[in-house]
Amino acid sequence: MTLLYLNSDQMGSGDPALGRKLLRIFLEKLAASDVQVDLVGCVNSGIYLTSDGSEVLESLKKLAEKGARLATCGTCLDHLNLREKLQIGEVGTMDQTVQVMAIAERIIRP
């Protein structure tokens, strides 16, 4: 199993606008590639990627069309009052995160 672990709405640290741009490009390239992702897990500010207004929803939809399941942290959604703005995937739990991380053969963390 391959997990794409998105714990931020940016790639790397430094300039936030550059980080968001890099992650957007990364997700576009990943969605267009032959790399199989089984689960996309979004936590912390990564939940903005699956919420209303996200610039990467199309890339995430393509990953889902290729068979990836998408799960966004319920605790995070509630903390940031975004549960009602979730646009793609399901609400996940920390129990699921622990289990998936324990069995994943590969974790991609941009």
- Whole-Å CA distances, 16 to 8, 35, 61, 69, 106: 11, 27, 24, 27, 27
CB neighbour list of residue 10: distance below 8 Å, 6 or more residues apart? 16, 19, 20, 22, 23, 45
Whole-model pTM?
0.93
- How many degrees, rounded to 5, is the angle at CA 54 between CA 48 and CA 58? 125
Q: How far apart are CA 105 and CA 97, in angstroms?
A: 14
Instruction: State residue 43's pLDDT score.
Output: 97
What value does the mean pLDDT take over residues 13-32?
Answer: 97
- Residue ranges covered by each domain of the chain: 2-108
Average pLDDT, the chain: 97
Distance CA 107, CA 4 (A): 6
Question: pLDDT of 83-99, one tens digit each?
Answer: 999 999 999 999 999 99
Q: Which fold has domain 2-108?
A: Hypothetical Protein Ychn; Chain: A, (3.40.1260)
| pLDDT one-digit tens code per residue, 36-57 | 999 999 999 999 999 999 999 9
Least Cα distance to 49 among 22, 72, 81 occurs for 72
Q: Which of 37, 48, 50 is nearest to 100 (CA)?
A: 37
